[in-house]
């Protein structure tokens, strides 16, 4: 990958905690079978593709390597988006008093549904695999007879299995010395029979084998059980690759309507994922849009002393929607797929904010146009003549204002967060300006031709 400058590898412990590691709990990854690779790219001005596109490009190769070695891999971008556990999160709930094993079985069934969708990647769950561990039960009487404490036995077993630092090694070219750790080889520490041959020094100086001090017992490891609002819950998570979360929500809802979970069990997608935040954000922005329209109407009524004329002026607002929605549709026809993954431009929350802001901007053009028409009528000109002259005179300033706003928005079209706002401005202003000069005078003429 030519865009990569360097990378950092962390094995057995988490990489430095950042926003992504905090909200997705990656900072808790300290097991020996877990690792992180942090990839650093050249400056965005020096590369052709954005980081999101590079992630899509390398995904098939990384997944092929992981599949070849039986590993689980996740390709995660440092998110500029909402703080969520994952893009798509399913929460599985069962009836009160249900066995936890049944909840696990239904959680795995939901995971199988996730894996059937090609638009979902990095599917995972929060179900612990059944595991066992070896516990050494000390025979207190025998240990006391040999003058050996439980702490001595624990230290011996810990050193044999986990290792003990016995010194420091200074490797050539390294700034910091590395600890020298001594422990049993894997074949020796993987069999209880081998471990019983370990020896502990007794009070009289003799080395006593562990087999005389107790015995090993294989016991199941307690699994982690998750609760939310005091209810047992199972989690299934996944990421999107070139698709919007709403596509996965619709597909999963249909899938489990056709093949529902057993009675009493249910799952929701409005939990810790992006879908709940998306719904809440667009609901709040919709209410804000409605409040903005009401305030604009009240101000126009106060200015025009009319209840009907503000509606004519505000006709420019729906014209922005006519431009924004088809504009985003046309915009998504341009990008080529990257290694089979779509590369769309989404209508985001910032795009909705841009649409709300346009409500106040585009109304200004209507106000300028109608105000000039009314001034010409006050000078004694006929309605038709006033409409034509107002359109001709105000055409240039309206186009100049719209052009300045559109070209100014092009600067932020490549920003990962505010690109939606920029495209809303561009498409909305273009459509509203084009149609306002035609629609507003026509409606004004139809309402005033009998006067």
Distances in Å between the Cα of 295 and the Cα atoms of 209, 291, 314 are: 85, 6, 12
Mean pLDDT of 77-100: 83
CA distance 277 to 283: 10
Q: For residue range 352-411, list pLDDT tens digits in order.
A: 998 888 888 888 888 888 888 888 888 888 888 888 888 888 888 888 888 888 888 888
Mean pLDDT of 40-62: 86
Q: Can you read off the two tokens belonging to residue 252?
A: 């999963």
Q: For residue range 230-255, list pLDDT tens digits in order.
A: 889 999 999 888 888 888 999 999 99
Computed over every residue of the chain, the mean pLDDT equals: 86
Higher pLDDT, 107 or 395: 107
Mean pLDDT of 207-220: 87
Q: Can you read off the two tokens belonging to residue 312?
A: 């004519």
Q: For residue range 119-138, list pLDDT tens digits in order.
A: 899 899 988 888 888 888 89
pLDDT score, position 15: 83
pLDDT score, position 114: 92
Q: Which residues contact 181 (CB under 8 A, 6 or more apart)?
A: 163, 164, 165, 166
Cβ atoms of residues 89 and 237 within 8 Å: yes
Q: For residue range 313-325, list pLDDT tens digits in order.
A: 888 888 888 889 8
pLDDT score, position 93: 92
Q: State the maximum Cα–Cα separation within the chain, in Å, rounded to a whole number.
A: 122
Mean pLDDT of 23-51: 84
Please report, rounded to a whole number, the percentage of residues in the chain having pLDDT higher than 70: 99
CA distance 45 to 40: 14
Taking 80 as the threshold, does the pLDDT of residue 79 lie above it?
A: no
Taking 80 as the threshold, does the pLDDT of residue 228 lie above it?
A: yes
Please report, rounded to a whole number, the percentage of residues in the chain having pLDDT higher than 90: 13
pLDDT score, position 451: 64
Domains of the chain and any CATH numbers: 1-78 (no CATH), 132-220 (3.30.2090.10), 275-448 (1.20.1640.10)
Taking 70 as the threshold, does the pLDDT of residue 81 lie above it?
A: no
Q: Model pTM?
A: 0.77
Taking 90 as the threshold, does the pLDDT of residue 56 lie above it?
A: no
Taking 90 as the threshold, does the pLDDT of residue 108 lie above it?
A: yes
Q: What are the beta bridge partners of residue 120?
A: 240
Q: For residue range 146-191, list pLDDT tens digits in order.
A: 899 999 989 888 888 888 888 888 888 888 888 888 888 888 877 7
Q: What are the beta bridge partners of residue 164?
A: 182
Q: Which of 14-18, 145-149, 280-284, 419-423 has the lowest mean pLDDT?
A: 14-18
3-class DSSP assignment, residue 387: helix
Q: 290: pLDDT confidence band, cut at 50, 70 and 90?
A: very high
């Amino acid at each position: 990958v030519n865009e990569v400058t360097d990378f950092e590898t962390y094995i057995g412990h988490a990489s430095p905690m950042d926003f992504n590691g905090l909200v997705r709990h990656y900072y808790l990854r300290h097991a020996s079978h877990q690792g992180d690779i942090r990839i650093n790219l050249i400056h965005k001005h020096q590369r052709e593709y954005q980081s999101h596109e590079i992630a899509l490009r390398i995904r098939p190769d990384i997944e092929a390597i992981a599949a070849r070695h039986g590993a689980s891999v996740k390709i995660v971008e440092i998110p500029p988006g909402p703080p969520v556990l994952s893009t798509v999160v399913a929460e599985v709930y069962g009836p009160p008093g249900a066995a936890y094993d049944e909840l696990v079985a239904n959680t795995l069934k939901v995971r199988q549904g996730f894996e059937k969708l090609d638009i979902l990647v990095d599917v995972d769950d929060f179900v612990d695999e059944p595991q066992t561990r070896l516990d050494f039960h000390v025979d207190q009487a025998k240990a006391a007879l040999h003058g050996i404490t439980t702490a001595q036995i624990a230290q011996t077993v810990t050193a044999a299995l986990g290792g003990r630092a016995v010194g420091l090694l200074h490797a050539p070219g390294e700034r910091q010395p590395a600890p020298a750790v001594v422990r049993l080889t894997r074949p020796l520490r993987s069999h209880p029979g081998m471990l019983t041959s370990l020896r502990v020094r007794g009070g009289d100086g003799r080395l006593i084998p562990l087999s005389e001090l107790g015995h090993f017992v294989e016991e199941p490891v307690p699994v982690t059980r998750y609760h939310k609002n005091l209810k047992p819950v199972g989690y299934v998570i996944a990421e999107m690759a070139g698709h919007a979360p709403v596509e996965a929500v619709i597909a999963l809802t249909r899938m489990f309507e056709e093949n529902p979970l057993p009675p009493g069990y249910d799952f929701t997608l409005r939990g810790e994922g992006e879908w709940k935040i998306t719904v809440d954000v667009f609901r709040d922005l919709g209410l804000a849009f409605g409040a903005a329209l009401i305030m604009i109407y009240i101000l126009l009524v106060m200015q025009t002393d009319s209840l009907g004329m503000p509606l004519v002026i505000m006709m420019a607002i729906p014209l922005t929607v006519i431009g924004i929605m088809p504009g985003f549709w046309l915009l998504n026809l341009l990008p080529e797929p990257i290694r089979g993954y779509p590369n769309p431009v989404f209508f985001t929350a910032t795009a909705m904010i841009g649409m709300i802001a346009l409500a106040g901007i585009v109304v200004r053009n209507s106000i300028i146009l109608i105000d000039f028409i009314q001034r010409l009528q006050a000078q004694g000109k006929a309605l038709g003549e006033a409409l034509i002259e107002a359109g001709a005179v105000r055409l240039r300033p309206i186009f100049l204002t719209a052009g300045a706003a559109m070209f100014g928005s092009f600067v932020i079209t490549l920003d990962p967060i505010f690109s939606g706002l920029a495209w809303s401005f561009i498409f909305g202003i273009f459509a509203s300006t084009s149609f306002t000069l035609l629609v507003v005078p026509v409606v004004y003429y139809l309402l005033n031709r009998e006067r």
